[in-house]
Amino acid sequence: MAFSTIASPSSAFFSKKELFLSPFLIKKFKATTVPNKIVSVMASSHSQRPPSTTGPVKGAMTMTQKILARVAERSQLVPGENVWVNVDVMMIHDISGPGAIGILKREFGEDAKVWDREKIVVIPDHYIFTSDDRANRNVDILREFCIEQNIKYFYDIKDINNFRANPDYKGVCHVALAQEGHCRPGEFLLGGDSHTCSAGAFGQFASGIGSTDAAFVMGTGKLLLKVPPTLRFVMDGEMPSYLLAKDLILHILGEITVSGGTYKSMEFVGSTVESLNMEERMTLCNMVVEAGGKNGIVPADSTTYKYLEDKTSLAFEPVYSDENARFLSEYRLDVSKLEPVVAKPHSPDNRALVRECKDVKIDRVYIGSCTGGKTQDFLAAAKVFLASGKKVNVPTFLVPATQKVWMDIYTLPVPKSGGKTCSQIFEEAGCNTPASPTCGACVGGPRDIYARMNEPQFDPMLCVQDNCHRFRWTLDIFSLILVCDTIGVRRSMVYKSLQSFYKFSCKSSQMLVTFQFFLGFPFAVSLD
C-alpha cells in the first residue's frame, strides 16, 4: 500500500475503487476536546519572568504549537486555544493591499502609522502588465502608502513596458518572499494571500489572512489566532524520477479532500521530504490551502540553511515537533509506489491517474504561477522538451514567477543539454517567448492580462497549466502531470491527444514537468 495511517479506518474516505487509484489506509487519532474559549486577549507587554519559566511544566508540542507559543509569549499551547500573537512579517500585494490600507486608515485614523516599517513587505505582482486603469491604480495606492509610511521593503514597479527597467520589482510574492530572505525558520509570517502558506517550507508558520486582519496587523503587529491541531504526513521511499512534489500534494488532496485539512496545520516529514529542494518543498506547502489547511510546514534542515546562506543575515531559531507530540492524525506514504495523477474539473481533490486520461485533447499550455513558475519548474519543462526533440503542437505560454527566475531561464544551462539554456530549448520547441514575471493569468484579471482566455468557446478549451487553482471562480482547471521518456521520444511533448503520450508515460525514467489543465471558460476574476 502506498499510504497508511495510524488508528481506526474511516469509511467516509475511500471505496475499494478509490484505494486502487492511490492506496491509502486511513486511520485517525481521536482528537482531545478543548474548550473553545479565549484564554488570552492581549499579549503581555511586561513579564516578571521569561515566558519559558512561567506556568505549568511544559508538555510536548508540535512545530506549529511551538512557534505560536513563542509569538504568544506562552510556555505551553494546545489546539483550540485562542491567543494574541506577535507577527514577525506581514506581506500585502496589489490585490489585498489597497483594501487593507483603506481599513487601516478608517479604523486607526488617516495619520496612523504602521507598527513596524521594517516588518511589512509590499509586493505588487498580480495585475501588473495591463492597461486597466483600476489595476494600475492599485499599484499607485501601494506606492503612495509605502512612501507615506517609509516602508523598507517595497518592491515597486513604475515602467510596466519593460520590467527589467525596474530593479526593485520582483514578481510573484510567494516566490519573492523566499528569494529576498523574508522566510526564516521558527518565525511567524502572515500574508494577504491564501497561498502565503508556501513559506512553511522554511520551517515557519505562514498563513494567509483577509484585508481586515491585515489592516489590524499593520496597525498593531498582533493578531488573535486559534491554535490549529496538526495533521502529520510521513513520506518515505525513493521518489520516482517521473514525479514532483505536485504529485505528492495532489495525492494527499485526493485522499483527505478539499475540506480534510480545514483549519489544521499540515506537517510534512520523512526521507522523501528531506530529499526535496526548497522550491519543491514550497510547492508542497503551497497547496495545503486547497485542503482548507491553516498552514503547511516542513522541518528546517541543511537544505534550508544552505538556501538561506546568501539571503538573510538575521538570526533565527528553528523548532521541531517533540517526539511524543500529539497529532490529530498521522498519514504514512510510500512514495516509491505512487503514479502520476491528475486533478480533474472542478476541484483539486477530483483525482485520477494520468493513465486514465490518455484520450484527453489539449488546446494550450501555460507554465507559471507561485506553484509552478519557479526555476526548477522551468528546468523540468525544458528537460521534457529536450527529450521529445519535437516542436509543440499547441500554443505554449511561459510566465516566470520572478525576475530571478526569468534570468535563470536565460542563463542556467539545462543538464545534459550540451550547454543550452531553458530559453534556447523553449525557442527550438516553438514555445512563446517567456513573458514578464507576474502572477499572469492565474486568477484571470483584466482582459489584457497575458495568456488569459477571454473568448467564449462552443467547445471548452483545454489548457495544461501548472497552477494551484482548479475552481470555477478562477478558470475551469484540469490538472495533470506529464512525463516524458528520456530515450528517443518520437512524439512532441505537447500532444493534440494524450493517447500517444500514455503509451510511454509509464516507462518514464527521468524527465517530467508538472502541468495542470484548464477547461477554459472565458474569464476568471475581472475588474470590468
What lies within 8 Å, CB to CB, of 151 at 6+ separation is 114, 117, 120, 122, 145
The pLDDT assigned to 487 comes to 18
What lies within 8 Å, CB to CB, of 228 at 6+ separation is 64, 79, 263, 264, 265, 294, 295
Mean pLDDT of the 13-21 span: 32
Total length of the chain = 528
Each as own residue / partner, the long-range contacts of residues 404-410 (CB below 8 Å, 24 or more positions apart, any chain) are: 404/170, 404/179, 404/375, 405/171, 405/175, 405/373, 405/374, 405/375, 405/378, 405/437, 406/171, 406/434, 406/436, 406/437, 408/375, 408/378, 409/375, 409/378, 409/434, 410/434
The pLDDT assigned to 523 comes to 23
Model confidence at 389: pLDDT above 50: yes
Mean pLDDT of the 65-72 span: 98
Mean pLDDT of the 445-454 span: 75
Please name the residue ranges forming H helices in 366-507.
Answer: 369-372, 375-388, 403-411, 422-429, 498-505
Q: Please give the residue that has the higher pLDDT: either 319 or 435.
A: 319
Q: Please give the residue that has the higher pLDDT: either 51 or 272.
A: 272
Instruction: Give the model's confidence band at 52: pLDDT under 50 very low, under 70 low, under 90 confident, else very high.
Output: very low
The pLDDT assigned to 23 comes to 33
Share of the chain above pLDDT 90, in %: 55
Among 3-12, 212-221, 285-294, 402-411, which stretch is predicted with the lowest mean pLDDT? 3-12
Q: What angle do CA 154, 155, 158 make, to 5 degrees?
A: 110
Model confidence at 28: pLDDT above 50: no
What lies within 8 Å, CB to CB, of 110 at 6+ separation is none
Three-state DSSP state, 60: coil
The pLDDT assigned to 189 comes to 98
Pairing mode, strands 265-269 and 295-297? parallel
Of 20-29, 168-177, 479-488, give the range with the top mean pLDDT: 168-177
Q: Phi, psi at residue 35, to the nearest 5°?
A: -55, 135
Question: Do the Cβ atoms of 117 and 217 come closer than 8 Å?
Answer: no
Instruction: Give the model's confidence band at 457: pLDDT under 50 very low, under 70 low, under 90 confident, else very high.
Output: low
Instruction: Give the model's confidence band at 5: pLDDT under 50 very low, under 70 low, under 90 confident, else very high.
Output: low
Model confidence at 331: pLDDT above 70: yes
Domains of the chain: 63-336 (3.30.499.10), 351-484 (3.30.499.10)
Q: Please give the residue that has the higher pLDDT: either 347 or 245.
A: 245
Q: Please give the residue that has the higher pLDDT: either 75 or 33.
A: 75
The pLDDT assigned to 105 comes to 97
C-beta neighbour count of 416 within 10 angstroms: 12
Model confidence at 88: pLDDT above 90: yes
C-beta neighbour count of 371 within 10 angstroms: 30
Each residue of 107-140: pLDDT tens digit?
Answer: 999 999 999 999 999 999 888 888 889 988 999 9
The pLDDT assigned to 24 comes to 39
The pLDDT assigned to 4 comes to 60
Cell of 504: 510511454
The DSSP call for residue 414 is P
- Alpha carbons 298 and 285: distance in angstroms, whole number: 8
Cell of 445: 484579471
Query: How far from chain centre, in Å, is Cα 108?
Result: 32
Mean pLDDT of the 178-207 span: 97
For residues 122, 127, 133 and 139, what is the CA-based torsion angle, rounded to 10 degrees?
10
The pLDDT assigned to 511 comes to 27
Mean pLDDT of the 439-456 span: 75
The pLDDT assigned to 20 comes to 30
Query: How far from chain centre, in Å, is Cα 190?
Result: 14
Mean pLDDT of the 342-369 span: 83
Model confidence at 355: pLDDT above 50: yes
Mean pLDDT of the 257-265 span: 96
Model confidence at 344: pLDDT above 70: yes
The pLDDT assigned to 436 comes to 84
Output the average pLDDT for the chain. Answer: 80
Q: What are residue 171's DSSP bridge partners?
A: 402
The pLDDT assigned to 348 comes to 86
Three-state DSSP state, 516: strand
- Alpha carbons 198 and 264: distance in angstroms, whole number: 15
Q: Which secondary-structure segment (H or E) carries 175? A: helix 173-179
Instruction: Give the model's confidence band at 363: pLDDT under 50 very low, under 70 low, under 90 confident, else very high.
Output: confident
Instruction: Give the model's confidence band at 365: pLDDT under 50 very low, under 70 low, under 90 confident, else very high.
Output: confident
Mean pLDDT of the 58-63 span: 92
The pLDDT assigned to 470 comes to 53
